[in-house]
Structure 1
Amino acid sequence: MRSRRLDYSESTRSALVESAVELFTKRGYASTSLDEVAKRARVTKGALYHHFAGKQALFEAAFESVESLVYDRLEKIMTGPGTAWERALGGLKAFIGSCLDPAYQRIAIHEAPVVMGWERWREAEEQCSFGLVRAGLQLLVDAGEVEPVPVEVTSRLLFGALSSAATEIASAADPKKVGAEIEDVIVRMLLRVRRPAGEEAPERAAAGD
């Protein structure tokens, strides 16, 4: 049985993270105070310090929350119904859509590299997103949808391209237009390595001989 104290503690932490996400999105890290976060969450500043050592720790929790929402959305698509190709394109479209979200733009793309430091930010991004890129590409190769490219190297290149795409979208004067252009370019790149319909992978053809 869960204790009421544990439930209250978790709800307090969730309220603080939600408050932080909203305020960091609207005002940015530098212009947001812990007093404001606590006030919006309707808790005391002491309660905030019970859960977080300071402002940076709270920001990292907000970053993790925003990243988790994107990860869960993409994972649901990548493991859902449809062919490997359909899921890959659906995942790409969902990622581009996430890059248009104000919270993701402000917290995960603009603020995180500065607040967390570039190396830690890249490490966190890889832990959250790189696995999905690699798994998606592996599915495409295993399904015979694309040529048997080196999965690890190609995944790194794709991940780098998607990371750059996120920055371009978040910094654009017209994010929707840039997002559509980036989606089109990446699909064109994938089509260059897509196996023609009806053509078997060499290993499958050999196995059928």
Structure 2
Amino acid sequence: MATQDRLIETMQELLRERGYTGTSPKAVQQRAGVGQGSMYHHFTGKPDLAAAALRRSAEQLRTRAEQRMAGPGTAYERIEGYLLAERESLRGCPVGRMAQDAEVIADPELRAPVHETFEWLCGRLAEIVAEGRAAGEFPADTDPADLAAAVAAVVQGGYVLARAADSPEPFQRAVHGVLAMLRACSATKG
């Protein structure tokens, strides 16, 4: 693996484990097995490396989500596929966790991939809900943006609940709960 990619991947791991504030350039260099000169050859500093790592984490999240949502099936089945995708719920979302880091939120360049990812996710889910509404799968008065935001919030909240309990069960319960609500919404359409 190229040094630049190793640095980005290491920063991704450390951001997920420790957050931005808890990740030092020295920790990145040590875990990546590179010297200070190599790091600063590729990145101007910690913020630049963190921005690259956040952009890569965001891209990976979008790719995995789109694989689930672009498949065949009804709107409900595609949302279900997204919600039931295998996740490391105890580690938290690699992008969502950054929304809880004060330094990331305070820096527009670091915050941008986080915001853009959730904006994309909600938009993509809203498209699927709108397709389902048009097909008669969901009630005509269903607001796609509201339902999409609720689905995204359940996933992110599920991560928080799982981490707090040190168990994947709360995440699974949250996902199954929103799926039950979607089924009920679909059953009462019209």
Instruction: Report whether the alignment pairs 1:82 with 2:73.
Output: yes
Which residue is 1:163 aligned to? 156
What RMSD over aligned residues (CA atoms) do the two structures have, in Å? 3.0
- CA pair 99-141 structure 1, distance change in 2 beyond 3 A: farther
The structural deviation recorded for 1:185 is: 1.2
3-state SS of paired residue (2:29):
helix
Greater Cα radius of gyration, structure 1 or 2:
1
Which residue is 2:146 aligned to? 153
Q: Residues of 2 paired with 1:124 and 1:113: CA distance?
A: 16
The 8 Å contact of residues 70 and 98 in structure 1, kept in 2 or not, is answered as: no
- Give the counterpart of 1:189 among 181, 185, 188: 181
The structural deviation recorded for 1:186 is: 0.3
Unaligned runs of 5+ in 2: none
What do the CA deviations read for 1:10-50 (whole angstroms, capped 9, x no partner)? x3321111111233344444443213323443444233224
The structural deviation recorded for 1:78 is: 0.9
Which residue is 1:20 aligned to? 11
What do the CA deviations read for 1:115-137 (whole angstroms, capped 9, x no partner)? 31178376234234222221221
TM-score (norm 1): 0.71
Deviates more, 1:57-66 or 1:116-125: 116-125
- CA pair 14-131 structure 1, distance change in 2 beyond 3 A: farther
**How many residues were matched structurally?**
184
After TM superposition, the structure 1 = structure 2 runs for residues 47-196 of structure 1, keeping only pairs within 5 Å, are 47-94=38-85, 97-98=86-87, 100=89, 102=91, 105=92, 107-114=94-101, 115-117=103-105, 120=111, 123-148=115-140, 149-170=142-163, 172-195=164-187
Q: Residues of 1 paired with 2:118 and 2:22: CA distance?
A: 28
- Give the counterpart of 1:41 among 32, 43, 47: 32
The 8 Å contact of residues 80 and 87 in structure 1, kept in 2 or not, is answered as: yes
Q: Residues of 1 paired with 2:38 and 2:155: CA distance?
A: 38
Deviates more, 1:156-165 or 1:175-184: 156-165
Deviates more, 1:176-185 or 1:133-142: 133-142
The structural deviation recorded for 1:99 is: 5.3
The structural deviation recorded for 1:56 is: 2.8
Q: Percent identity?
A: 26
The 8 Å contact of residues 144 and 195 in structure 1, kept in 2 or not, is answered as: no
3-state SS of paired residue (1:144):
coil
- CA pair 98-66 structure 1, distance change in 2 beyond 3 A: farther
Deviates more, 1:134-143 or 1:23-32: 23-32
The 8 Å contact of residues 21 and 62 in structure 1, kept in 2 or not, is answered as: yes
3-state SS of paired residue (1:167):
helix
Q: Residues of 1 paired with 2:153 and 2:77: CA distance?
A: 22
The structural deviation recorded for 1:77 is: 1.3
Q: Residues of 2 paired with 1:169 and 1:29: CA distance?
A: 21
Q: Residues of 1 paired with 2:148 and 2:94: CA distance?
A: 25
Unaligned runs of 5+ in 1: 1-7, 202-209
